[in-house]
Amino acid sequence: MDTLAHHWRLLIGGELREPVLRQRYPVVNPSTGSTLAEAPDGDEHDVDVAYRAAARAAGEWGRFAPRARAALVRDLARILRDNAADLATLAASDHGCPLRTMLLDVEDAAVSLEMFADYAPQLAGTVVPTGDDTVHYTVREPFGVTSVIGPPSRIAAPLVAGNAVILTAGRQAPLTALRIGELFADGLPPGVLNVVTASPDSVAAHRLIRRIAFTGNGRAGRSVQVLAARAAVKTVTLAVSGKNVMVVLDDADLAAAASGAARELCPGTATLLVHESIADELVRLVVHRIRALTVGAAVKSTVDIGPLGAETQADQILAYIAAAQRDGATVACGGGRLPGPGFFVEPTVLTGVGPGMTVFSADIPGPVLSVVTFTADEEAIQLANAVDHGVATSVWTRSLDRAHHFTSAFEAGSVCVNGSTRRVPGVAECVAELLSFTRTKAVTVSVLGDAADPMSRGNHSRGQQAPE
């Protein structure tokens, strides 16, 4: 696809259209630093137009039988797979993540659509025992209009639950979401899926959007939470990005753990907690594997680590590394900027990091591994749970008892034992996620007629008794 020549538009009400103010802005290819495309520059006006289109579609879509919605959502998975190579290449150019990772992401998105379609029968209510004069039951109903701020893979649950969706594409890298809007435009009734490029804040501040699912960094997530609360009573869920935590115990397979640490570093940042008795050897193995990684343009199939999303992120990472060195940390490998074009920083390993340092918990937007040592299991648990932005945690050990102890004690949404946390189902891939896009309505039905009158029931009952 010639992204620069392509005329990118918003998807609203089943139609591809220009933003209300007809403004555009350049999207930069982080691998080259050059302009990748001219994207539609949406704002709160487009959010409102999208809301009205979604509201018109929501009623009928919500009345579809769950199995009918599920069938259409499964068709979307097929569309993704049919266009997987092109979507992955576009996403690599757009986001800067390696092509191999983007191919896996497209397949993960297709699996997510199919998985939530399979969950459709779980959209069931309950019958509550009350007595013989009433029937009490609950039903699950969609919110109506739901906003998804984040990756397109998160549209599956709200669609299957019966909501019309407004997908907000990230301003820095909007092309993948806009392209998916083009591909899905004919696969759903008009208005059921809408794709805009407005800011998360403009979505959160819309007083009529009552359900928001946000994925992104903690600062933006807090802003969405605050603005949503000011606008109206809303249901908001946050999946904030952060650094993953690896805990390597003294009985671990060091070669496997080193490979796991390198995999954690490829997409982003991580904190490596390692028992001090094996720290030197593990760091040596990790550095060896990281130095073997290929850094380069994201669209190349041989690349392990792509560019950062923007020049400002490179500046932030270098500032974090410099601060860590001032605090007493040591750069075991990397630590500098790679020559352009593009926005590249060397994969970096910092040793001698302590819990009092900024890099210990900071959500660093790039490939930086902070190594922290511990001497006892309980200390490792405390350190892992002290990472402010910890999203996923893994423990590496040969002991099943210790593994169970750590998985129980970790305060994280996803936990792995002897494996990478990068490609495992999390809290957003379960039935509870589907149900979170519904509201529960309680219904009580009183039995009419003589049966509703206690005196009538009593007389009737006595009339049926056998004579003495």
Q: What is the pLDDT of residues 378-420, one digit of tens each?
A: 999 999 999 876 578 999 999 999 999 999 999 988 899 998 7
327 CB burial (10 A radius; 0-12, 13-18, 19+): middle
Tens of pLDDT, residue by residue over 241-276, are 777 899 999 999 999 999 999 887 766 668 999 999
Give every CB contact of residue 444 below 8 A, 6+ residues apart in sequence: 130, 134, 135, 136
**What whole-number distance in Å separates Cα of residue 417 and Cα of residue 400?**
9
Give every CB contact of residue 164 below 8 A, 6+ residues apart in sequence: 54, 55, 57, 58, 61, 144, 145, 146, 191, 192, 193, 194
Tell me whether strands 127-131 and 35-40 are parallel, antiparallel or unpaired: unpaired
**What whole-number distance in Å separates Cα of residue 292 and Cα of residue 119?**
42
Q: What is the SS3 assignment for 117?
A: helix
Which amino acid, residue 7?
H
Rounded alpha-carbon distances, angstroms, from residue 152 to 31, 114, 126, 175, 352? 22, 14, 32, 11, 39
For residue 263, the number of C-alpha atoms closer than 13 Å in the C-beta half-sphere is 16
Tens of pLDDT, residue by residue over 85-112, are 999 999 999 999 999 999 999 999 999 9
- Given a contact cutoff of 8 angstroms between Cβ atoms, the answer to whether 213 and 159 are in contact is no
pTM: 0.91
Strand partners, 28: 35
Domains, the chain, with CATH or none: 10-241+426-442 (3.40.605.10), 244-412 (3.40.309.10)
Average pLDDT across the chain, whole number: 91
- pLDDT exceeds cutoff 70 at 296: yes
**What whole-number distance in Å separates Cα of residue 310 and Cα of residue 448?**
68
Instruction: Work out the pLDDT band at 421, boundaries 50, 70, 90.
Output: low
Q: What is the SS3 assignment for 138?
A: strand
Instruction: Work out the pLDDT band at 457, boundaries 50, 70, 90.
Output: very low
Query: DSSP label at 47?
Result: H
First to last CA, the chain: 92
Query: Which residue would you say has higher pLDDT here, 149 or 262?
Result: 149
Which residue, chain included where needed, has tokens 């671990």?
252
**What whole-number distance in Å separates Cα of residue 248 and Cα of residue 407?**
13
Tens of pLDDT, residue by residue over 219-240, are 899 999 999 999 998 999 998 8
- pLDDT exceeds cutoff 50 at 16: yes
